């Protein structure tokens, strides 16, 4: 059972940081709506408030790790240019996608959207975390401030979902492969 270094980094970027962010974002939205949705809701414990602050800060770190690992580690492998006369485009995912009308849209629409819209995620969640750290439980009695923060978190979920969907589909059609091969386990030989 083997995996290439590039494939491993792609998994860390997408299934590690990215997917974890998506799950964490769902949890954050539930908690924010449950705790802060109305001033008539039950009281908020200081420990809950502290937990949510740390939770949103961790989400911000995850969002930054996702876009930075994607942009500066995985994307250069994705957009690598093959040498003249290359026999196979398997190691050049962008060129492989563009080589067929059946797959070119995954780059021209999917990757072109994903590589930019993903950056709205760390911007949005960093803002949400900072507002929450600054205002905390006061958000409960400031509905307009609270609804703005919640909307940004919802949009961050949407943007992360777009990036995650296209990332998965692009990697399905033209996987980022190459680099050192890591042996994870020995299979039973026949």
Partner 1 sequence: MSALHVTEYPKSRNFPNGGGAAAILAAGIGAFLVAAFAIAADKIAVIKSLMIFYKPTGPLSGVTTCAIAGWLLVWLVLHTAWRSRMVDIGRVRTVALVLLILGVMLTFPPIADLL
State the residues that interact with partner 1 by CB under 8 A.
39, 43-47, 49, 67, 71-72, 75-76, 79, 108-109, 112-113, 115-117, 119-120, 123-124, 126-127, 130-131, 134-135, 137-138, 140-142, 144-145, 147-149, 151-152, 155, 158-159
- Residues contacting residue 17 through CB under 8 Å, at least 6 positions apart: 62, 65, 66, 69
Minimal distance in Å, beta carbon 1 to partner 1? 30
Answer yes or no: are the C-beta atoms of 56 and 115 closer than 8 Å: no
Which of 96, 139 has the CB closer to partner 1?
139
Minimal distance in Å, beta carbon 163 to partner 1? 10
Tracing tokens 């792609």 back to the chain, one arrives at: 10
Query: At residue 188, what are phi and psi to the nearest 5 degrees?
Result: -75, 125
Which of 65, 67 has the CB closer to partner 1?
67
Token readout for 103 is 């797959």
Which of 55, 154 has the CB closer to partner 1?
154
Rounded Cα distance between 61 and 181, Å, is: 29
């Amino acid at each position: 059972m083997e995996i290439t270094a590039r494939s491993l980094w792609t998994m860390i970027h997408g299934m590690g940081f990215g997917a974890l962010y998506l799950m964490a974002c769902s949890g954050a939205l539930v908690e924010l709506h449950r705790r802060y949705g109305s001033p008539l809701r039950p009281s908020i414990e200081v420990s809950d408030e502290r937990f949510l602050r740390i939770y949103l800060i961790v989400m911000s770190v995850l969002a930054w790790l996702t876009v930075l690992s994607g942009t500066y580690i995985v994307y250069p492998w994705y957009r690598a240019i093959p040498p003249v006369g290359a026999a196979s485009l398997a190691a050049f995912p962008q060129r492989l996608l563009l080589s067929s009308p059946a797959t070119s849209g995954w780059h021209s629409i999917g990757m072109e959207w994903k590589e930019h819209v993903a950056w709205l995620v760390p911007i949005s969640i960093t803002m949400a975390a900072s507002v929450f750290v600054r205002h905390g439980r006061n958000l409960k009695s400031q509905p307009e401030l609270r609804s703005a923060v919640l909307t940004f978190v919802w949009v961050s979920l949407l943007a992360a979902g777009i990036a995650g969907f296209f990332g998965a589909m692009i990697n399905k059609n033209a996987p980022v492969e190459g680099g050192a091969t890591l042996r994870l386990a020995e299979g039973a030989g026949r």
